[in-house]
Amino acid sequence: MKTTHDRWLRYLLFSLGMALLSACTPESTDNPASSAPTNTEVADLVLFNGNILTMDTAGSSATALAVKAGEIIAVGDDSLTDRYPSSPATDLGGQTLMPGFIDSHTHISGNPPHYIDLTEVTSVAEIRDLVSAKAEQVGAGNWITGYGWSEDVLEENRRPLIGDLDTAAPDNPVILTRAGGHSAVCSSNALELAGIDATTPDPDGGIIERDSEGNLNGIIRERQELVGALVPEASDETLRPSLISNLNALLALGITSIVQASDRIDHYPEWERVYQSHGSTLPRAAVQVAYEGREPMRAFGRITGAGDEQLRVGAIKIFADGGFTGPAAYTSLPYKGEDTYRGKLNMSEAELEELIRMAHDDGWQLGIHAIGDAAIDLTVEYLATALADNPREDHRHYLNHFTVMPKDETMTTMAANGIAVTQQPNFTYTLEGRYVDNLDGRRLETNNPMRTPMDHGIHVAISSDILPIGPMTGIYAAVTRQGMSGRVFGADEKLTRLEALRGYTTLAAYLTFEEDRKGTLEPGKLADMIVLSANPMTVPAQQLLDIEVLQTYLNGNLVYEKE
């Protein structure tokens, strides 16, 4: 019988022999197991060899990042390709990658069959031709609508007027809304159907324009719904394909998130239907809604923030005053060349204060349209009073526009109460002619200010209000303060490039309470990213307008690529 000692001796000798054999045997290059990487981490996508602008608080850059399950999991240098060796990888070829743009104030809708897109027209003659063609298409007696004309880019250097529409479509009611949405031109048929003639008084909050002889010229400022309300409303089913198409078109501009700047609560379910079926391929959206009173809002059953990362309810939209394309914004001093006219509030001061208080007390975030300095002063006063009477932490109330610089005291109050701004520096570029015609002195030079409110401690994001919608125009204007003519307005209001880019990314994400999820390229953030044709931090300023979006990613998925 073998002893225990013998068995252990045999085991020891065997083990030593195997160890010596292993040490003397060369490593086989044909053995898959011997060459397998020791790191088993796998990402859904690795982007490398790029110029990555993270937009983080330090303004840091990187060359590579990794994505998994729609989120960024690592940002660093090209060694990330070694860390994730089995992952799909894309060589950026030195191109610039940055967070997708967040347009925190825009308007997107579907287009009915009677609609004409006028955003690219360059002459009144072209408008007449388009209206004539649409009249032939829809038939006599049927409405024709359109949006997007601007006299600033028309060859005739004037607005389309009633005679132009009557000539183009004598048998159709026509209403064409100016870019910006604060005025429209109507045909004689349209005005007649609305019961408007030369003796009709100006409506509250609006103006029915007349020529030097007292005749209607077709232009209605701010209250164009007097005519527009008569246009038969297209069904959601009719509008849905073009709404989806218009949202999808934003991806080519690098816009990965939007704030829809106004809608009705009864229309919000249509947004839900669209995003339930197409949400993963469309820009994320927060939808501002009108406050319709306590009972309707409670019946709506949602409040600011309700929803998910694809679609959510945004702030309450209140129009304190009119727009500037009229002009009808409420200013503290009369407009240039006017003795007394300084625009109008859209409601009484008491009604504005009560509306702000009710919406605030009901727990809503407020996003208030306030363009003229007088409207801004009043709006901030009422917001501050509501906050003093009913304090709310992290309310994030904000003003849309902020075109005419208000009093220093107003900006100090805004900073002290955390009242933010979403500003449109692109207005300085495209609305230059409107400002020169209607403003003077300091209020002209500081139109659409950004540096001064920021220096007061106010949170200032950047958005487009679709004038135009492309973010590079806003970034260019924020950096240069140049109008279309090249004139510089208030150079002291210029932003640095990093400030302008952050205004369109992380600072915009703050307005929808989402700065922890998007707006920068950092681990834990959503992989919403864009690849640009040039580096906006280094190209000559005049070339900012020429930068194109080459690729757009949502959740790390490529959803747009320039052909």
Mean pLDDT of 421-439: 94
- Whether residue 215 lies inside any domain: the answer is yes
- Whether residue 397 lies inside any domain: the answer is yes
**Chain centre distance of CA 379:** 22
Same domain, 465 and 358: yes
Angle separating helix axes 408-417 and 373-389, nearest 10 degrees = 40
Contact assessment for residue 322 and residue 328, using Cβ atoms and an 8 Å cutoff? yes
Separation between Cα atoms, residue 411 and residue 456, nearest integer Å: 6
Model confidence pLDDT, tens digit, residues 316-339: 999 999 887 667 899 999 999 999
- Whether residue 534 lies inside any domain: the answer is no
For residue 178, the enclosing domain spans 115-228
**Edge-to-edge order in the sheet of strand 183-186:** 115-117, 144-149, 174-178, 183-186, 216-221, 207-210
| pLDDT at residue 18 is higher than 80 | no
State both tokens at 435.
């400002």
Annotate 489-501 with b (16+ C-beta within 10 A) or e (fewer): bbeebbbebebbb
Mean pLDDT of 221-250: 93
- Whether residue 98 lies inside any domain: the answer is no
Where is the domain boundary, 495, 516, 535? 495
Model confidence pLDDT, tens digit, residues 88-105: 999 999 999 999 999 999
Count of structural domains, the chain: 2
DSSP, res 300:
H
Q: Decide which of 179 and 288 is more confident.
A: 288
Which residues does 99 contact at the CB level (< 8 Å), separation at least 6? 53, 54, 55, 256, 505, 506, 518, 519, 520, 521, 525, 528, 529, 530
Same domain, 359 and 491: yes
Most confidently modeled of 47-61, 194-208, 517-531? 517-531
Model confidence pLDDT, tens digit, residues 271-312: 999 999 998 999 999 999 999 999 999 999 999 999 999 999
Same domain, 224 and 335: no
| pLDDT at residue 37 is higher than 80 | no
Same domain, 197 and 333: no
Model confidence pLDDT, tens digit, residues 342-382: 998 999 999 999 999 999 999 999 999 999 999 999 999 99
Where is the domain boundary, 440, 469, 495? 495
CATH number for the domain spanning 324: value is 3.20.20.140
Where is the domain boundary, 206, 228, 250? 228
Separation between Cα atoms, residue 341 and residue 362, nearest integer Å: 36
- Whether residue 384 lies inside any domain: the answer is yes
Which residues does 17 contact at the CB level (< 8 Å), separation at least 6? none
**In the prediction, which pLDDT does 326 show?**
64
Same domain, 334 and 220: no
Distances (CA, A) of 75 to 70, 100, 124, 413, 521: 14, 16, 51, 39, 8
* DSSP per position, 27-83: PPTT-HHHHS-S-----SEEEESSEEE---TT--EESEEEEETTEEEEEESTTHHHH
Peptide bond connecting 468 to the previous residue in cis, omega within 30 degrees of 0: yes
Which residue has tokens 């246009």?
231
- Whether residue 21 lies inside any domain: the answer is no
Same domain, 342 and 198: no
- Whether residue 266 lies inside any domain: the answer is no
Q: How many residues belong to the chain?
A: 563
- Whether residue 488 lies inside any domain: the answer is yes
CATH number for the domain spanning 152: value is 3.10.310.70
| pLDDT at residue 187 is higher than 70 | yes
